[in-house]
A and B are shown apart, each in its own frame.
Chain A
Amino acid sequence: MAESKDGGLVFKPMEQFEVAPLFGDGPVGMFTITNSTMWMALAVLAVVALMVLGTRSRAIIPSRSQSIAELVYGFIYQMVEDIAGKDGVKYFPYIMTLFLFILFSNYLGLLPKAFTPTSHIAVTAVLAVGVFVAVTVIGFVKNGAGFLSLFWVSSAPLALRPILALIEVISYFVRPVSHSIRLAGNMMAGHAVIKVFAGFAALLAISPLAILAITAMYGLEMLVAGIQAYVFTILTCVYLKDALHPHH
Chain B
Amino acid sequence: MEGDIAQMGQFIGAGLASVGMGGAAIGVGNVAGNFLAGALRNPSAAAGQTATLFIGIAFAEALGIFSFLVALLLMFAV
Residue of B nearest to A186 (CB): B65
Q: Are A189 and B58 in contact (CB under 8 A)?
A: no
Chain A residues with CB under 8 Å of B65's CB are 181-182, 185-186, 189
Q: Which residues of B contact A186 (CB under 8 A)?
A: 61, 65
Instruction: Give the residue of A14, A181, A230 whose beta carbon is less than 8 angstroms from that of B62.
Output: A181
Interface residues on chain B, number (Cβ under 8 Å): 14
Instruction: Give bound CA distance, A181 to B66, whole Å.
Output: 7
Indicate whether A189 sits within 8 Å of B68 (C-beta atoms), given known contacts A79-B51, A227-B54. Answer: yes
B3 to chain A, nearest CB (A): 20
User: Majority SS of interface residues in chain B?
Assistant: helix
Min CB distance B26 to A, Å, is: 18
| Complex interface: chain A residues within 8 A of B46 (CB) | none
Say what secondary structure dominates the interface of chain A: helix
Interface residue B16 (Cβ < 8 Å from any Cβ of A) = no
**B69:A181 contact, CB within 8 angstroms:** yes
CA distance A227 to B76 in the complex (A): 28
Instruction: Pick the interface stretch among A91-99, A146-154, A195-203, A231-239.
Output: A231-239
Q: How far is the CA of A230 from the CA of B53 in the complex (A)?
A: 12
Chain A nearest CB: distance from B33 CB in Å?
18
User: Is B32 in contact with chain A by the CB < 8 A criterion?
Assistant: no
Q: How far is the CB of A235 from chain B (nearest CB, A)?
A: 7
Given the interface pairs A181-B65, A181-B69, A182-B65, the reply to whether A235 lies near B51 with Cβ below 8 Å is no
Measured between beta carbons, the chain A residues less than 8 angstroms from B68 are 185, 189
A169-196 contacts to B (CB < 8 Å): 178, 181-182, 185-186, 188-189
* Shortest distance from the beta carbon of B48 to any chain A beta carbon, whole Å: 9
Chain B residue nearest to A228 (CB atoms) is B58
Please indicate the chain A residues that have their CB under 8 angstroms from the CB of B36 in the complex: none
Q: Is A83 in the interface zone, CB < 8 Å from B? A: yes
CA of A222 to CA of B61, assembled, Å: 17
Cβ of B8 within 8 Å of any chain A Cβ, yes or no, is no
Asked, given contacts A181-B66, A182-B62, A189-B68, whether A231 binds B55 with beta carbons under 8 Å apart, the answer is yes
- A210-246 contacts to B, CB under 8 A, are 227, 230-231, 234-235, 238
- Compute how far the CA of A14 lies from the CA of B77 in the bound complex, rounded to whole angstroms: 12
Report B-chain residues with C-beta under 8 Å of the C-beta of A235: 55, 58
Please measure, in the bound complex, the distance between the C-alpha atom of A46 and the C-alpha atom of B50, giving whole angstroms: 28
Contact indicator A234/B55 (Cβ below 8 Å)? yes
In the bound assembly, the distance between CA atoms of A182 and B55 in angstroms comes to 12
Say if the beta carbon of A87 comes within 8 Å of chain B: no
A3 interface contact, C-beta 8 A: no
List residues of chain B with CB within 8 A of the CB of A83. 51
Residue A82, interface by CB 8 Å: yes
| Cβ contacts under 8 Å, B66 to chain A | 178, 181, 185
A79 to B72 alpha-carbon distance, docked (Å): 34
Indicate if the CB atoms of B62 and A82 lie closer than 8 Å. no
Q: Chain B interface (Cβ within 8 Å of chain A)? A: 51, 54-55, 57-59, 61-62, 65-66, 68-69, 72, 76
A to B CB contacts below 8 Å, 6 in the list: A181-B66, A181-B69, A186-B61, A231-B54, A231-B55, A235-B55
